[in-house]
Amino acid sequence: MGRGIKSRPGVYMVALATVLLGAAGIMAMPPAAAVSVQASSQRPSAGTSLESEFYGVSCSSASACTAVGDEETSTGTTATLVERWNGTSWSVQSAPAPSGAAAGYFDAVSCSSASACTAVGHYVAGTGGSVTLAERWNGTSWSVQSTPNPSGATLSTLNAVSCSSASACTAAGYFLTSGGTYQPLAETWNGTTWTAQSVPTPSGATAGFLLGVSCIAASACIATGYYSTGATDVALAETWNGAAWTAQPAATPSGAISTELYGVSCTSASACTAAGNYETSAGVTATLAERSDGSAWTVQSTPTPSSAIAGFLSGVSCTSASACTATGWYETTPGAYETLAEHWDGSAWSIQPTSNPSGAPDNYLLGVSCTSASACTAAGYDLNSTYTALAQGWNGTTWAIQSTPRP
């Protein structure tokens, strides 16, 4: 349910790690426009919205969904973006800016009810540093919540969030230490305050990132991502038991030289599914799904469209142990991407035909939320002449594009 720092070339997940670390980095990176950060209000008071992108979505019912991301205007300002689905149409909601914010980005959202949503991401402070951001929807308006940042961190972001109730949320992301090392980050909301938690990394890790999280209770969460060894990326899973985070070994597909997990969804402590991708020794990037039974992760076989030269999964949502939907995109020819959705029926994954906006050569579905096996909403963006927020709905038979307004 997230992606990461956007003020760099490439918006998805933690592409900044690729640029700054020079390590293997995220493979599932759709391209994006460069962002111009200016010291102005996060919510533009003037200027036309030129571009918009969704990165996360959460539905409490088929007629109550919230999608988040960001938008860029003709004034050069980047602001958080929130839109609400009422079962018929999408409408823009106003989200305030933290005091002193020069730019803001939402990466993920989780709604435990129609009147209780939490969105997370990061904002650029007036000093130029990026710090964590969380905002709360109470059914009437959005408000900024105070979030901690690790001491000495030069960059902090929250990529994912999961709320099991209005007073129990866990957010996951990463931060950059003053020594130049990326470390995983987790924070919890108890209904009153956000508190940072210590997250371990496996032995030999030179960097660690959390990109997805799913909680079935305040004391039962799983976060997913990856860690770097300096030469390759290795899928990472961490479990929270109410007292501490513990790293779990994720599974590795046969022939994989690099693995990364993004979204994760749990319906019980013994039924969690994570989505991502892996790279083979031949340099091919393929979709990846893994399943945890509470004690170990196993790789599940995921198909790719016949025309695909590469495939990526970034979001997943499960309504039961035998009903999961994962979304992402696949590459048809170098530089051309189409949306991708796959469904788990308890036995196997199968591809669901998705729609792509007419004339758009690049299309991505980054997040998905399902309230039943026949009711899912996916969010992302398409790129034609500009970046445009994209939403699609699944009715049990087909995926259909939903019109999204510009702010």
Q: Please identify which residue in the block is written with the tokens 């933690």.
A: 14
What residues make up the domain containing 123? 15-402
Burial string for 16-50 (b: 16+ CB within 10 Å, else e) reads bbbebbebbbbbbbbebbebeeeebbbbbeeeebb
SS3 18: helix
Is 312 contained in some domain?
yes
Q: What is the CATH number of the domain that holds 127?
A: 2.120.10.70
Is 122 contained in some domain?
yes
Is 407 contained in some domain?
no
Is 10 contained in some domain?
no
Q: Which of 188, 288, 307 is nearest to 242 (CA)?
A: 188
pLDDT 10s digit of each residue in the chain, 407 long?
A: 333 333 322 233 343 332 223 333 333 444 332 222 222 233 333 456 689 999 999 999 999 999 999 999 778 889 999 999 999 999 999 999 999 899 999 999 999 999 999 999 999 987 778 999 999 999 999 999 999 999 999 999 999 999 999 999 999 999 999 999 999 999 999 999 999 999 999 999 999 999 999 999 999 999 999 999 999 999 999 999 999 999 999 999 999 999 999 999 999 999 999 999 999 999 999 999 999 999 999 999 999 999 999 999 999 999 999 999 999 999 999 999 999 999 999 999 999 999 999 988 999 999 999 999 999 999 999 998 899 999 999 999 999 999 999 87
Is 1 contained in some domain?
no
SS3 269: coil
In this predicted model, what pLDDT tens digit does every residue of 129-171 receive, in sequence order?
A: 899 999 999 999 999 999 999 999 999 999 999 999 999 999 9
Domain total in the chain: 1
SS3 19: helix
SS3 21: helix
Is 7 contained in some domain?
no
Is 3 contained in some domain?
no
Does residue 389 contact residue 378 with C-beta atoms inside 8 Å? no
Is 390 contained in some domain?
yes
